[in-house]
């Protein structure tokens, strides 16, 4: 399900990545910084170094290629509404990921089995000279998976092979990022007042037998909404989540302090506070959306451009 509103009037028609139209106020577009205008501070740290504050290592981004970015863009469905606005998300993602050095491929209106076959092929590709792998799913969804133009794919069927080192050999130890713009249910987040934080009472320490690494390490899932909740989208501006993600990935591309997980926190803050549904005829009026992240990253990820490239001047 997808609907949208930002904090700026007037009302325009928008939709939900699930079941139909809604209304929202339009958002104010923001220009991206360019080389001439400055923007955020330029990075001066060598890639693959250790963060001086956290002591965490950075994923080395020194392979010849940044890697493959694959976008699955589902607009037409046999049994669901059209996803107007999704092509705007694709344009913004192509600009952003291309600027960051990815080779971008777009697959449109695949069936569920076709998406699963393509992902299995991608897991078996040779990524030995690539920094990482990046996949984006733009579709209708439900708890546990997304819809193809025909059929339904569970996430484990789409990404399971990327968790297996015996299959996805050339991405072992490298970051694998999966971005999902799709509903995870029909609920939506209630708008509530923010309470002040409680006093810091400290935390107890837990003894362990030493560090361990999960078999499925170095994987990150970023969902547009929480479990069981709807994700909102505008036919004019695209989805709340993708437009904000692209904005901040460009804003902080050269940052020496904003790693990818911090960027996702910034995206979550923006989406959950600055947007709310304005559809008075649906069950989502004045409701919110809270992006969520699930990760087994073991290092910090900085997606700094591999070469000096011009940032996009605006998003649609």
Catalytic residue among 68, 127, 132, 140: 140
What digits encode the pLDDT tens for the residues 29-84?
343 332 323 334 345 455 567 776 678 999 999 999 999 999 999 999 999 999 99
- Supply the pLDDT for residue 44: 47
Catalytic residue status for 183? yes
Residues in Cβ contact with 36 at an 8 Å cutoff, skipping those fewer than 6 apart:
none
Query: What percentage of the chain carries pLDDT values higher than 70?
Result: 67
- Supply the pLDDT for residue 14: 46
Q: CATH says 11-27+36-191+215-295 is which class? A: alpha beta
- Supply the pLDDT for residue 72: 98
Catalytic residue among 183, 246, 250, 277: 183
- Supply the pLDDT for residue 314: 47
The residue that leads in pLDDT, 217 or 316, is 217
Kindly state the DSSP code that residue 19 receives in the 8-state scheme: T
Cα separation, 138 vs 142, in Å, equals 13
What digits encode the pLDDT tens for the residues 245-298?
999 999 999 999 999 999 999 999 999 888 665 655 455 555 678 899 999 999
Calculated CA dihedral for residues 88, 93, 98, 99, nearest 10 degrees: 100
> Model-level pTM?
0.78
Please state, in angstroms and as integers, the Cα–Cα distance from residue 88 to each residue in 1, 180, 232, 233, 286, following that order. Answer: 17, 16, 14, 10, 24
- Supply the pLDDT for residue 229: 82
What digits encode the pLDDT tens for the residues 79-130?
999 999 999 999 999 999 999 999 999 999 999 999 999 999 999 999 999 9
The residue that leads in pLDDT, 194 or 117, is 117
| Summary mean pLDDT of the chain | 79
Is it the case that residue 153 has pLDDT exceeding 60?
Answer: yes
Cα separation, 233 vs 146, in Å, equals 16
């Amino acid at each position: 399900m997808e609907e949208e509103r930002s904090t700026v009037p007037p009302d325009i028609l928008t939709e939900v990545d699930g079941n139909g139209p809604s209304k929202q106020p339009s958002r104010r577009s923001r220009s991206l910084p360019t080389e001439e205008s400055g923007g955020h501070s330029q990075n001066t740290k060598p890639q693959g170094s250790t963060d001086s504050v956290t002591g965490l290592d950075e994923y080395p981004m020194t392979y010849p290629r940044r890697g493959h970015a694959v976008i699955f863009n589902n607009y037409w469905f046999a049994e669901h509404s059209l996803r107007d606005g999704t092509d705007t998300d694709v344009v913004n993602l192509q600009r952003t990921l291309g600027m960051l050095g990815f080779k971008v491929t777009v697959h449109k209106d695949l069936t569920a089995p076709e998406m699963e076959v393509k992902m299995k092929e991608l897991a078996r590709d040779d990524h030995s000279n690539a920094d990482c792998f990046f996949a984006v799913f733009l579709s209708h969804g439900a708890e546990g998976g997304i819809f193809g133009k025909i059929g339904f794919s569970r996430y484990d069927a789409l990404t399971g092979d990327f968790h297996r080192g015996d299959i996805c050999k050339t991405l072992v130890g490298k970051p694998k990022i999966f971005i999902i713009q799709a509903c995870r249910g029909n609920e939506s987040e209630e708008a509530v007042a923010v309470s002040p934080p409680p006093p810091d009472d400290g935390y107890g320490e837990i003894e362990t037998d030493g560090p361990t690494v999960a078999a499925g390490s170095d994987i990150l899932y970023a969902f547009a909404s929480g479990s069981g909740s709807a994700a909102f989208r505008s036919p004019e501006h695209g989805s709340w989540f993708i437009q904000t993600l692209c904005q901040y990935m460009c804003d902080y591309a050269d940052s020496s302090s904003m790693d990818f997980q911090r960027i996702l926190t910034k995206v979550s803050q923006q989406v959950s506070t600055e947007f709310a549904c304005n559809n008075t005829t649906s069950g989502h009026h004045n409701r919110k959306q809270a992006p969520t992240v699930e990760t087994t990253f073991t290092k910090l990820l900085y997606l700094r451009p591999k070469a000096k490239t011009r940032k996009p001047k605006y998003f649609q």
